[in-house]
Chain A
Amino acid sequence: DIQMTQSPSSLSASVGDRVTITCRASQRISSFLNWYQQKPGKAPKLLIYSASSLQSGVPSRFSGSGSGTDFTLTISSLQPEDFAAYYCQQTYSTPRTFGPGTKVDIK
């Protein structure tokens, strides 16, 4: 199985801050990487697919980059509705695996 790790596991930030979350795969996965946002009590929501493609309807302050083993999700200017958990997921091989998540909360 491909293991996914994320850092940091949690972070505190203020509205307007630039936030970067890192995801690392245990082997090279090209650009087969997706990002999700999950708010408490809600289902995850797709933000980014193929490492850098913005899902329809997702604000442009979200962006993704990377390939191979190292990936980043960036929120250019954090908004109140962005406080949530973020998960990366690889689709290079089965079983599909997710990172452990990064929780973004209010400083």
Chain B
Amino acid sequence: QVQLVESGGGVVQPGRSLRLSCAASGFSFSIYGMHWVRQAPGKGLEWVAVIWYEGINKYYLDSVKGRFTISRDTSKNTLYLQMNSLRPDDTAVYYCARGTNQSPRDIWGQGTLVTVSS
């Protein structure tokens, strides 16, 4: 079964760190671009980051650049998002999504909620 399963969300204080994971199964993880997209409570969708299939090219939303790091471990079929210096406006459900290098596409995880609050 083709699926993505996120984990690692939770409640964290401003300024602290959190690492999200996205476990892929049922497909060849290494040939797809992978994305993180977030959705603040009651709001729309916001693209956060992409890592190309080869794991070298990485691009970020300006507001997370320098704080968030996207990575992938092909041996574990897992995508990561290391989030440092978290701010209250990072509070959102974070989705991982399979796609091309240019866009999320057809497979999305169920999402994991990150709440940044003191």
B partners with A: no
Name A's B-contacting residues (CB within 8 A).
none
